[in-house]
């Protein structure tokens, strides 16, 4: 007797990751207002889950801005928005030897823990993790977000 497709166990064995950059040359990244349709003008996708879902285990953020930046992290599922949280990224994080890049997953409340007590972002099939800034960044400054995780397979 075989299991129905919905009851098959899913395993995390396919490595996945992504990255994105907020910021442009001579212009600023505008403040982002999340509409009811999930559209954020300057938001960027930094992770897309596979056909069976997945989980983001790390979300590293670096900036070269001379002011701290508030970054909004959310899951977009089609047109449905699932806010995860807002993280403060300190000045020059990951840009200077005195300020390290920030793994923002640890600062997000309400996320589940894996077997080694690390937080992760669980995702259903084809959901995406997006990041945006809440206020305009300085001209010629950027924010880089890099994710690592795994996709489920059936």
Q: Which residue in this structure is represented by tokens 């075989």? A: 2
Please give the model's pTM, rounded to 2 decimal places: 0.80
All domains of the chain, ordered by start, with CATH? 10-149 (2.60.120)
Sequence-separated (6 or more) residues with CB below 8 Å from residue 7: none
Cβ neighbors of 141 (< 8 A, separation 6 or more) are: 23, 63, 64, 65, 66
Per-residue pLDDT in tens (0 to 9) along the chain, 154 residues? 454 555 555 555 566 777 777 765 544 444 444 444 445 566 788 899 988 888 999 999 999 888 888 888 999 988 888 889 989 998 888 887 778 888 999 889 899 998 888 999 999 999 999 888 877 777 778 888 899 888 888 7
């Amino acid at each position: 007797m075989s299991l129905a497709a919905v009851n098959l166990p899913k395993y995390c064995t396919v490595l996945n990751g992504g990255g994105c950059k907020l910021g442009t040359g001579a212009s600023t990244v505008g403040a982002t207002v999340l509409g009811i349709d999930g559209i954020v003008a300057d938001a960027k996708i930094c992770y897309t889950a596979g056909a069976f879902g997945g989980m983001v285990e790390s979300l590293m953020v670096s900036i070269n801005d001379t002011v701290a930046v508030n970054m909004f992290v959310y899951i977009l599922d089609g047109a449905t928005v699932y806010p995860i949280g807002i993280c403060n990224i300190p000045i020059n994080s990951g840009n200077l030897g005195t300020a390290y890049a920030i793994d923002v997953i640890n600062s997000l409340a309400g996320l589940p823990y894996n077997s080694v007590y690390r937080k992760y972002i669980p995702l259903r099939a084809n959901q995406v993790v997006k990041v945006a800034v809440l206020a305009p960044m300085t001209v010629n400054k950027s924010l880089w977000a890099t994710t690592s995780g795994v996709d489920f397979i059936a």
